[in-house]
Structure formats: structure tokens, C-alpha cells
Chains A and B, each alone.
Chain A
Amino acid sequence: MRFMFKFPDIGEGLEEGKIIEWYVDKGQNISSGEPVVKMETDKVVTDIPSPKSGIVAARFGAVGETVHVGNVLIEIDIASISGNEAQAEARKEPKKTASETVAEKGFGVVGTIEVAGDGAYLPVSEEGTLPQEEKPGSLRKVLSTPVARAMAKELGLEINSIPGTGPAGRVTKKDVSSFHAKRAYLDETVSPTSAPESPQISIEKVPLSQIRKTIAKNMLRAKQNAAHMTVMDEVEVSELVKLRTMLKGKYQDKGISISYLPFVIKALTLALKEYPVLNAELDLEGGNIIYKHYYNLGIAVDTPEGLVVPVIRNADRKSIIELAQELASISEKAKQRKLNLEDLRDGTFSITSYGSIGGYYAVPVINYPQVAIFGIGKLTEKPVVKDGQIVVGHMLPISMSVDHRIVDGGEVARFLNTVLGYLQNPVSMLVQ
């Protein structure tokens, strides 16, 4: 039987990708988990593994071509089953979207990717027609009258987007013409040509990039799902400044640039171990709190295209130098759009250092479904009172947002006391 392998939803809200390289040719054997194609999206460059074993019967799309999620990538002739077994397989109701666990050979990791499942199976007889190319979001097929269809086509309207008032929501001629009239009216009122003649009132419409769409979606999802609460504080870090200056000079020759961030990461991972609820996830449907016993810290990176949050895996097991090196590496990759899916996945806690650009305090948005984000403000010299004397202190402002659904105020305060304690007295964390 034939299996149509469609470009799966690889997460991060990406809807299309560009083919960089094909790993398979027509007629070639392929095993489940073997990479099929290298795809570049707005965010990542990643290999797409095959979900099935068999022979590649057809390949769609050339290098450089843009492929939408749901488009067929390859057709696999699955040799291992035939006859009744294949009939039974073919009769299975294809799921709308299915999560299949695919072992990615060569990476040694098991990841979960979305496999576009609907219509993926062709009838065994191979007499069936290829599924129509799917347009995202047009899966709903409306009832409509023949004339309404003809009219919508003529007016260049997508019939599925027209609300129907007939029985069972059938779209009638009247519905098409009123939809058209409404749209024509809106176009007229919005179009700049009919706007009042004022040079100040001019707008420009720029299509959203994939990455911007993804950011928008994720931010909204976080705000809609989590109960944000933000705590702000500041800490005197003169000791840390000294330590960092010392290390910076020492490693400069080796080409390693050390910022404050590795120390913050270190302090956070130590504190997270003491306050596990901040390295957790709320599973409201299942009625569980999922505690994560690994510490993958997402680092918000500002790139010309927009915000990306690559992850430093097992940050708790890395030294200050290792963290500094990895930070340099991921921010470079992010800026060159060379991050792959692995680099973005499985974060458990995030850090945003907006202060490196400017600003003392912010209200960061949680990287949902994580439950907390730590924001670092701009380090400044300020007069502080120390032992009854006004002296110059190095003040680091911080802002931390948590999901108040599972993190209580007291817990954040205690967590912050620990983190800020480490930052104030960095030697204490280095000996841990």
C-alpha cells in the first residue's frame, strides 16, 4: 500500500518551510526514523524523519521550494504489509492529526512530531485519486447551492468563509451577495485611496512573517492560559561584578566572552532545585503538576526577525565557562537562523535579559506552558546605604513573572531570596 507522508506540523506554529536538501531519492529504501528532507523554516533548520519504512515511490518539491504543512513530501510504498492486512490498514479511519512517536536515527533521541494524518492513506487498489492539495484552515466544507458556488467563484470569494443562512447553514446566493457587498464596503472604507486626504494618515500593510505569527500566537496563548503575577526586586552585586571582571579578563584570550548571564543561570538552577514548583508545568486537564527533574533554561534572544528562545539543556550540570560558551553559540545560531528544532524544544524555565538593551523593570510574559520567567534589568551604579554609609553600589534590578495558578507569592519571594542571595554572594554558589 501507499502512504502519503505529508509535511508535518513541527511545532512552534510554523506553517511552511523551504526544502534545503533531499536525503532520499525515488526508488530508494527508507526506514522509519531516517531523515527524509532538510527543511528550513523561519525559525529553524531541521531534518524531517520518515514515519514509515518502505520504498520511496514519489517525491514532491524541489530544493528551494516552499512547502506548506500538510503538503505531501513523499509517497512511500509500504512493502511490509499486503493483502488483507493492507486492506485493513487502508480502511482505518485516518485521524485528523496524529501524534506519532518517531525514533530519529542518528540523533539517538525520541521526539514527538505531529504527523498530518487525514487522507494520508490511499486505497489499496491504488485506483483512488490523490487527495486534493489542502489549504490550511479550509478543512470545513460548507453546504452551498450550485449558484452560490458559481457566484462565489466568480467574485473570487472562498465559499467556506461565507456564513450560510439556509437550512443547516447552507450558503445561498443571497449569502454570497451580502458577504460580497459587506466586503466591498469594508474594502472601500479601509482602502487608503478613499481615506481622508491627510498625508499624516497613511498606513502600510506588511504581511506577517511566520516568526511574528508564532510569537503572536505564543504570547497570546500564555496570557490567556496563565494567571500572570510579577515580582520585582533589586540586588547589590558588587561582588559579582568583581568576579566577572576577573574571569572575563582571564578568558578573553581564549576567545570566551563571559557576561553576567552564566552566573544568573547558575543561581537560578540552584534555586530551582530547592523550589521545584518553579520548574514545573500545570496539567489542569489531568489534574496534575508535572515536576521536571531536568533544568533546561530558555534564553530569550533578540534577533532582527523577532524573538526566539533557544534552550540550554541541563544547565545545572554545566560550569560557568561551559554556559558562557553555549550562550555564545546559541545566540550566534539564532541570529543566523541556524537553530534547529532541538535547540528550541523542552525548555523548563526562561530568562529574559532585557536590561542588556535597556530598562530596569519589565513584566515578562511566561513562556507557556512553563510557569516562570526571570527578567534581568539594566545593571547600574547607584548610591546605596551600607553599614550606615552611602556608598556606590552595583544594583541589578530583576522582574520575575510566575503562573499564579500554581506558584504562590510566598514561594516566589523565597525563591527570589535564594537567587538574589547567590547573586549577592557569588562565591556561595560556586562552591555548591
Chain B
Amino acid sequence: MNYDLIIIGSGPGGYVAAIRAGQTGLKTLVIDEKYIGGMCLNWGCIPTKSILESARLLRRVTKAERFGIDGIEPEKLSFNWTKARTKMEQNVSKLTKGIEYLWKKNGVEFLRARAELLSPTSVKADKQILEARHIIIATGSKPAPVRFFKDSDLIEIEQFFISETLPIKPLIYGRGAYVAELAQFFSMIGHQPTVLLEASPILPQDNDWLNTALERILKKEKIPVFVQDQVQIEDGAIIQKDRKISFDKVINCSLRKATLPPLGFDLQTEGGYIKVDDHLQSSIPSIYAIGDVNGKSFLAHSASAQGLHAVNHIQGNNDSYDDSLLPMNIYTEPEIAMLGKTEEQLTREGIDFKSSEFGLNANGKAIIEGDVEGSVRLLYETKYNQVLGVQIIGHHATDMIAEAGILMQLEGTVFDLARTIHAHPTIPEVFMEAGILGANHS
């Protein structure tokens, strides 16, 4: 036996699991054929947010005069993709180095190779056959390939971040939060994006509030949105009735499919994803599958939480994996964040609930910053007034959701939120206000 644990894939699922495994004394090897950090660090979370930050700053700088800053001529401002990319690459490199450091510190080995599972306890990589007591598959996912565009028109996300130039009139094809983020990115830097949805609404979730919010954002940006089955696709253009919109490139953001490593034996799958139980164990107990590859969620923090869970289970913790409190962030402007149950879920589950919502437009800090769009919304059941869902739209929403996390993890009520003294002036004061509103109405 060469290792206690071999992890295939070094994304946020795999690398976090590896660190934990090392810390808890497992002899661990991580194998990845390409990058350290997987999609999240190399062509997902981090690069997207990095270029979005550049675009947001551009937009913010145009408002500089209002803040009392002279000398900025908005018409001279332009977006430099090469420089934005350089900054992005620096961010990525800093973070991947951080991972390597943590692995080294915790005795985790890394092998850059394509891994193939030969048996439930053996992996072939780099012409060697390695044995391990446990294997974690954390190989992630990729957008499903699209066939109805010319190959030369298509840009896969993975390539997008290394392209030399940006399309001027990109067609963002697919579904999910990524579509909205990318479309808004192009809009903020002055390009003319068009969105073509695989299907409506934007998010493949039954969440009216969220989908309406996203539609509103795209509408405000004046980004045309179409749904695939209502348009005809021509060479370089999409046509809906008498409307024809041309594009120069198509960015593939279609819903993702699991990337499975080559397997020398049968492993149960469901809809293309590796089937796992409550402990994230596959049909073969020595093999765990975490992150996108098991289809539970496509969020980086979910993969990390699953990675920790799998290692804890290997180490004898028998708790079931619980992802009922998984925050979901969308980095549009304004940002969107949500946690817990939606109205649809509560209604479906027959839980009596109320909602309380408080806007940012009266919040001191939001007024100072000049971004007053949005609100904090609480969904709470009516018996104990426990907060079961939180939805936030607004600047800093993606950071503010953390407060909802701790509140809900500890099964807090609107009273607890109302009682929590918030510093002034801060945007999270709105959180407290929503709590007070709820407490008064309960």
C-alpha cells in the first residue's frame, strides 16, 4: 500500500480534502493532469471574479467626479484586457502557490499526470501503479459541448481566460449564474453581449425571486436575452421573428457535465454523475466522489465542504453530509446572495412562514458608497420565528451572506438578529433592520 489516500483532481474539493487528510495524518497523494486548483482557481471562480473586479472598477471610476475627484475623463477610459489578464494571472498564481505551500506543510504529495482507476484501490498514473486504501474522485465538470455553432466561433470557458483578445459582440450561450456574470462583464467594459439561454429561466432552479432579480439586472444593462427554442441560429447571427442579432464569438456556458476519470471497473452513475451515498461514498466503499463529479452542486465551497466530509468519514466520523445551508453567490452588480430555503421550497414543504425585507436605500453606508440598489430579505417560520432563508441583493451581498450563515447554523430567530448590535454605519445594519421588522411583525 503506497498511500492511505489518493485524490484525483486538485480543485477546491480535492485540494481542501488533501490538506485535511495531511493534517489528520493520512499519507496522501493528489494527482491532477493540468493545474493545481482546478477550475475554481484557473478558469472558474477566481479568474472570473478577478476580471469582474477590473470591469467594476472601470464603471466605478466613471463616477469618480461625483465623489469629488477631478482629472478623470470618462471618455478616455478603456478596458485593457491584457493588463486585466495579467492581474488575474497574478491572483491565480498567488493562490496556487498557497495551495502548494499548504500541501507541503501537511505532507501531501502531488503528481501531475493523467490518472486512471484500475481497481477500487489502485490508480495508474505516469506509468506507475499506485495503491491506496481510499480514493477520492474530485475530477469536477465541464460545460457540455455545443454542436450547433461553428467550431471556429466557439470559445470554451477554459480558453476564454487565455485568449489574446476579447470578442466585441459575444453570444453568451448556456444557463446559470455564470451567464449573467459574463454578460454583465462585457456590458461593463463597453462591449455588446447577447445572452442565449439553453432554456428559461436563467437559473436552472425553481427560485422566482432570484430569477426575477437576474432578469432585472440584465434588462438594466440592456443585454438582449433569448431562449434557444425561440430563435433560429444562422452563421454569426441569431434571429427571432424580425429581429436579427449578430455575434462574433460564442462563449459556451452551457450546463456542466461531470468529468469522469478512466475507470477499469464499474462504478454506479446517475445521469452521468457518480452516485454517492450520505457519506459521499460511491457504489464502491473505498471510493468517494466529491464536488461537481457527483452532481450534488457546482459550487466550489460545496466541493470543499464535501472534501472535508469525505476525509472525516475516512477518519471514522459517521455523520451524514448535510448541505442544507449552502450559500449561493452571484457576482453581478448589484451582487446577489442567498442561503437556506426559498419561498418555493417552504411552500412545498408546507411550512408556515413570513418574510421581512429591508431596502438599502435608507442605509447610511450604502448612500455614502453610492450603491443603494437592493435589499435584505428574511424568510422565517411563524412558530419560533426561526430564520430559514436569507436573500440579499446589493453591493457586498456576497460577503454579507456570511452573517446569515452563522445565524442559521445556530438556528437563530428574527429576535436574535434584531438583538444583535450592528456597527454604524455599515451595510449589514440592513440585516438587523430586517430582523427588527420581522420581530415586530411576529
Contacts and interface: CB of A to CB of B under 8 A. Distances in A.
Interface of A: 145-148, 150-151, 154, 172-173
Interface stretch (B134-142, B183-191, B411-419): B411-419
Interface in B322-368: none
B410 interface: yes
Contacts of B416: 146
A154 B385 CA distance: 13
Interface in B76-112: none
Contacts of B384: 146-147, 150-151, 154
Interface string B411-432: 1110110000000000000000
A148 B409 CA distance: 12
A293 to B, nearest CB: 58
A145 B411 CA distance: 6
Interface residues of B, number: 8
Nearest to B415: A146
18 contacts: A145-B410, A145-B411, A146-B386, A146-B411, A146-B412, A146-B413, A146-B415, A146-B416, A147-B386, A147-B412, A147-B413, A150-B384, A150-B413, A151-B384, A154-B384, A172-B411, A173-B386, A173-B411
Contacts of A151: 384
Contacts of A147: 384, 386, 411-413
Contacts of A150: 384, 413
Nearest to B410: A145
Contacts of B413: 146-147, 150
A148 B386 CA distance: 10
A164 to B, nearest CB: 12
A230 B411 CA distance: 59
B353 to A, nearest CB: 14
A147 to B, nearest CB: 4
B417 to A, nearest CB: 10
Nearest to A153: B384
B194 to A, nearest CB: 47
Nearest to A165: B319
Nearest to B407: A146
Interface string B384-421: 10100000000000000000000000111101100000
Contacts of A154: 384
Contacts of B410: 145-146
A115 B6 CA distance: 61
A76 B304 CA distance: 60
A172 B411 CA distance: 8
A150 B385 CA distance: 10
Contacts of A148: 411
In order of increasing CB-CB distance, the 7 nearest A-B pairs are A145-B411, A147-B411, A150-B384, A147-B386, A147-B384, A145-B410, A146-B413
Most buried by B among A145, A147, A148, A154: A147
Nearest to B416: A146
A299 to B, nearest CB: 57
B437 to A, nearest CB: 18
Contacts of B415: 146
Contacts of B412: 145-147
A163 to B, nearest CB: 15
A147 B411 CA distance: 6
